[in-house]
Structure 1
Amino acid sequence: MSRAVVVGAGPAGRGLAHRLLEAGVEVDLVDPHPDRPWIATYACWTDELPGWLGEQSIAASVDRVQVRTPRPHSIARGYSIFDTGGLQRALTVTAARVHPHSAAAIGPRSVRLDDGTDVHADVVIDCRGGSVRHAPRQTAYGVVVDTDAAAPVLDGHEALLMDWSISQDDSSALPSFLYAIPVGAGRVLLEETCLAGHPALGQDELHARLERRLSAYGIGLRHTPVHHVEHVAFPLLGASRRPWRADPPRFGADGGLKHPTTGYSVATSLRCADTVAAAITSGTDPTRALWPWQAVAVHRLRQRGLGALLRLDADETVRFFDAFFAMPPALQRSYLSDRDDVMGTVAAMSAVFASAGLTLGTRVAHGSLRRPPTIG
């Protein structure tokens, strides 16, 4: 029987440990706070979810989402919001040997804990996140309110993926949009989001923008009951531009499974966990299984996409997303979700260049030829 050490018990690490155990692999799970509750809001396109994930992990699902650029776009693709606590409970790891310690040193076959203990295995997978400091970041400030309070924003729809319809006073400033999604229990998250910035917008600025935006919809945030406040800030790039060369292997958001232009990673990590588990049980290299040449190529193209996005001003960003969401859903999906669809990703990027107009299309194309800022 194979034995693996999984370092990190966030969604990617816990998900991987869960699927390894299901595959019959002995697992040591290393995390200083393995049972710390997850409080972030995670979402994904419904068709990205692995078939083995139960309904208890989902707080809400909708059949379509809206985008305002300010031209309205209705995206006929299911969208799901995780029940974060339900997901954490569903990813059972009771059969694992849990070590409530930090990893002081990590090697290909062993992990030294902060108490000096060495844990040995056939393979070590590093699933820790948040190690990147000097990378483009996504930031957001959000509030959870009753569905009735959010009604003026939703305007009869269930979910609003992006609302760019209220212009900023300064088109040269870093842009942000409103994200409005149901989170279950008759509540909605209203979140002002800076999709990508280097540096990104701070919480105070996002808070102020959210209040101004909601005020334009007739919602006085200071007079609206708020059930929860959410602060978001994370790097859009992993620990390496070439995660397929990491030794020991990295997995999850910091291991190249985060989409660098959207920030989504949870569903991809859950879906890829079985790929890693199958490689380990068969005695093959999990990194090679996770990173065929097609996935490497798409990852590089997506990094170029982030480089282009970072070089657009507010007006150009809105026009870019107007062109993107005017594309056929199949092309949107290729770019947003299919991590090994090289031709689909190229076709989607080319379609945006073509439909954005000569000036913007040329600017986006030139931006995509440059790498995003150095990470580290």
Structure 2
Amino acid sequence: MTDIVVCGLGPSGRALAHRCLARGLRVAVVDPAPHRRWTATYAIWGDELPGWLDPAVVAARVARPVAWGTVRHELDREYLVLDTGRLQDSLTLDGAEVIAERAVRVSGRSLTTASGRVLRADRVIDARGVGRSPRRAEQTAYGVVVAGSHAADGARAGHPGAAGGAAAASPRHGDDATLFMDWRAGNGAGPGEPRSFLYVVPLGGGATLYEETCLAGRPAIGLGELRRRLEHRLAARGITLAGDETVERVRFPVQGGRPGAHRFGAAGGFLHPATGYSVAASLGAADEFAEGAPARLGRARAAHALRVAGLRALLALPPAELPVFFDAFFSLPSTLQRAYLSGRTDPVGVAAAMRALFTAVPPGLRTRIAAATCGFPFSRRMPTGSSIME
């Protein structure tokens, strides 16, 4: 009998299957396109890199990434951008039974494919991610990969302010070649429109990804609008696109996963609802799940519930207040930032970070944040600035 069946071969499912094989387990994997190449950009914090992962998967390291709300923040945490192709190739599946079919029914000990084949195992793990739904908030992004010389020119040009009254960045800040999150104006959007931020990271080989991102929205900002905003930003930086650049399009739910013994990755609540990150958490938990029933499941559920409450608060913020909110977050001690961003099984740390953040935001936002976090309705007479936030 098969020891474990892993359903879904994205980064989470493939990492779990790979670590199960490393332990000598009999593994079957089910995915309708098991050899499909990944195209998304993945990044993790340096302290999240598991020791078993091949170091060659790291394409670029950023010692102190920069974030902007209304002011500049240097984050005291190394940030790693992964080589997606090397990551996929390093998670070998040698010895696994690979079944190129779609699963239609999954339970804890059996799986049925679209053709009617039934697979039974000691454990069946659902790692298929989360399906889209109008009821679920989504993250969207549109990015382009810019080759070396153009990216360098853009970094030297700085990030001038945009229409809407934002001041130009000072020369001291003009060389921020990496931007973890930049909420400043500069994308041509009006002051009352939903906010998006700029994400800029090196990909290795002199290439740089520039990506305009809607962190979370219900509905989220469309890809066409994000493309327009990104092109506006790049033009302001003096970067001219040739038209043949690699494009990255992102759209996925940030709600819907639930921690459980038979769910892994985004399906198992590993996706952080306030950032959209899940790969680091999945890589870090792969050994734990491979060894058997996950430990600290109750703590994972509690931390997940707190983060879901945090997402409600984020969705309730007026667009104009998002930069102020993130100023408060990135001003927290680094230990609290880590707890909220990476403490998947640390509800005490997550709660401490949320409490400190609530204290740090301006008093005018606290009523709205408190009501949304607790799930209470708040008055529509309170200014929101954006229909997507309610």
Identify whether the pair has TM-score above 0.5, normalized to the shorter chain. Answer: yes
String of CA shifts for 1:26-67, please: whole Å, max 9, x gaps.
101111111110011111111112111011222111111001
CA contact (8 A) 2:214 2:220 kept: yes
User: Who is 2:204 aligned against?
Assistant: 184
User: Who is 2:141 aligned against?
Assistant: 140
Say whether 1:317 aligns with 2:337.
Answer: no
The correspondence of residues 18-29 of structure 1 with structure 2, limited to 5 A, is 18-29=18-29
Identity of aligned residues (%): 47
The correspondence of residues 37-186 of structure 1 with structure 2, limited to 5 A, is 37-134=37-134, 135-151=136-152, 152-153=154-155, 155-166=174-185, 169-186=189-206
User: Who is 2:171 aligned against?
Assistant: none
User: Who is 1:297 aligned against?
Assistant: 302
SS in 2 for 1:24: coil
* AA in 2 matched with 1:361: R
Structure 1 residue 169, shift from structure 2 partner = 4.7
* AA in 2 matched with 1:186: G
CA contact (8 A) 1:13 1:251 kept: yes
* AA in 2 matched with 1:147: G
**CA distance 1:186–1:6, shift in 2 (3 Å):** same
CA distance in structure 2 between the aligned counterparts of 1:164 and 1:170, rounded to whole angstroms: 13
CA distance in structure 1 between the aligned counterparts of 2:325 and 2:69, rounded to whole angstroms: 9
Structure 1 residue 350, shift from structure 2 partner = 1.5
Structure 2, unmatched stretches of 5+, are 159-173, 378-390
User: Who is 2:30 aligned against?
Assistant: 30
CA distance in structure 1 between the aligned counterparts of 2:227 and 2:306, rounded to whole angstroms: 33
User: Who is 1:205 aligned against?
Assistant: 225
CA distance in structure 2 between the aligned counterparts of 1:97 and 1:257, rounded to whole angstroms: 26
* AA in 2 matched with 1:230: E
Structure 1, unmatched stretches of 5+, are 280-285
CA contact (8 A) 2:2 2:28 kept: no
Number of equivalenced pairs: 357
Say whether 1:263 aligns with 2:268.
Answer: no
String of CA shifts for 1:2-21, please: whole Å, max 9, x gaps.
71111111111111000011
User: Who is 1:216 aligned against?
Assistant: 236
CA contact (8 A) 2:259 2:300 kept: no
CA contact (8 A) 1:307 1:370 kept: yes
CA contact (8 A) 1:65 1:160 kept: yes
String of CA shifts for 1:121-149, please: whole Å, max 9, x gaps.
11111111242423100000000002332
Among 234, 238, 248, which residue is 1:230 paired with? Answer: 248
CA contact (8 A) 1:257 1:268 kept: yes
Structure 1 residue 104, shift from structure 2 partner = 2.8
RMSD, aligned α-carbons = 1.9
**CA distance 1:176–1:290, shift in 2 (3 Å):** farther
Say whether 1:341 aligns with 2:359.
Answer: no
CA distance in structure 1 between the aligned counterparts of 2:192 and 2:373, rounded to whole angstroms: 20
CA distance in structure 2 between the aligned counterparts of 1:149 and 1:290, rounded to whole angstroms: 48
SS in 2 for 1:121: strand
CA contact (8 A) 2:259 2:270 kept: no
